[in-house]
């Protein structure tokens, strides 16, 4: 599985597809790290077509969030329109940590 990195309106977007689990998490971490290293400050992780996500994936996202917070610049935003995936964030309380958006344009246009 690959995680394409692109730009949308000057923001870096990492797109994830399908199942995100222990076997795909290292590649997702690598893609997000690349996006943070080379990006404009705001990195958007597009989870629109994700069908499953496990705790390993949450760990990758938390690690990226902590990196952004420690650097004091940029932001990490998640596009997550599917209720079954949003529920994972709600159950774990991570919906209070990550800004969740329905579309990439919504994430780009968010203040802050």
Domains of the chain in sequence order: 5-103 (3.30.750.24)
Show contacts of 64-72: CB within 8 Å, 24+ apart.
64/29, 64/32, 64/33, 64/36, 65/97, 65/98, 67/36, 68/36, 68/43
Question: Per-residue confidence of the chain (112 residues) as pLDDT tens digits?
Answer: 789 999 999 899 999 999 999 999 999 999 999 999 887 678 999 999 999 999 999 999 999 999 998 887 788 999 999 999 999 999 999 999 999 999 999 999 986 5
**What's the whole-model pTM score?**
0.94
CA distance 7 to 108: 10
């Amino acid at each position: 599985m690959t995680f394409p990195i692109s730009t949308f309106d000057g923001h870096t977007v990492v797109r994830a597809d399908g199942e995100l689990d222990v076997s795909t998490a290292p590649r997702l971490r690598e893609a997000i790290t690349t996006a943070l290293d080379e990006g404009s400050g705001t990195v958007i992780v597009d989870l629109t077509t994700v069908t499953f996500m496990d705790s390993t994936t949450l760990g990758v996202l938390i690690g990226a969030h902590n990196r952004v917070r420690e650097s004091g610049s940029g932001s990490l935003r998640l596009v997550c329109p599917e209720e079954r995936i949003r529920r994972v964030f709600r159950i774990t309380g991570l919906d209070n940590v990550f800004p969740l958006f329905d579309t990439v344009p919504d994430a780009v246009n968010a203040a802050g």
